[in-house]
Structure 1
């Protein structure tokens, strides 16, 4: 058994779900009791998308609609659409340094800033043994 890597994870922060119709998804999750607590556009290599954080108690779902060019792949998925699990951390730079030192498969060169939430957030992803994406996220 290998030694534990102390990334100081607080809790699951959110679960990321790519959607093909952000409005229909908001209505669906609202019917389950979730509330829209944050909505923000974003831009990636394919264009502009939309991210909506839906919350019910301590559960946060990140619903995001990618630009049209990327939606074909999302529509053809057969085994679910959960894209990543995000862990909340207090210090993203410290978590990044620990992950680097541990030799984890980090997907970004450095923590990435997004203008989400009131003051933004920073995140980075690692790949698990089967390629699953695990995000470490700090709301600033």
Structure 2
């Protein structure tokens, strides 16, 4: 069996958690020793999404609050709210091309650029065998 991304995988990048009250979540994670290392707000659908990257000892959690119209679905989840696990890669386009060639279920049609971090990042996600979302992310 061929190992995908064998030379293009740098480990866990972050765990994405949608939240219903970003300030309450920031306070909670601060109490656990996490520090906010990045914050961005951007338009999405009928409102704005705020994303905060919280870090402690090499672990990054992405807390994000979606527009008001989408919060009810998040609040009503019963088995937790982890949305995705993101892995760090060195070359996002090579990772995308490799996943496409391997026939993986890629969610995006191309890597997406976000104005996160100092110089931005690019990502794309695939679906695992049980529908789990696995994101591949390159910080630029």
The interval holding the TM-score normalised by the smaller chain is: over 0.9
Match of 2:27 in 1: 27
Match of 1:57 in 2: 57
Distance 2:122 2:5 in 1: 19
Deviation at 1:42, TM superposition (A): 1.8
Distance 2:43 2:131 in 1: 24
Distance 2:83 2:35 in 1: 21
Post-superposition CA distance 1:22-75 (Å, at most 9, x none): 000000000000000000002222321100000001000000000001111000
What is the aligned residue count?
139
Distance 1:65 1:85 in 2: 17
Match of 2:2 in 1: 3
Post-superposition CA distance 1:77-97 (Å, at most 9, x none): 000011100000011011000
Distance 2:110 2:47 in 1: 22
Distance 2:60 2:89 in 1: 15
Contiguous gaps of at least 5 residues in structure 1? none
Distance 1:3 1:117 in 2: 33
Match of 2:95 in 1: 95
Cα RMSD (Å): 0.9
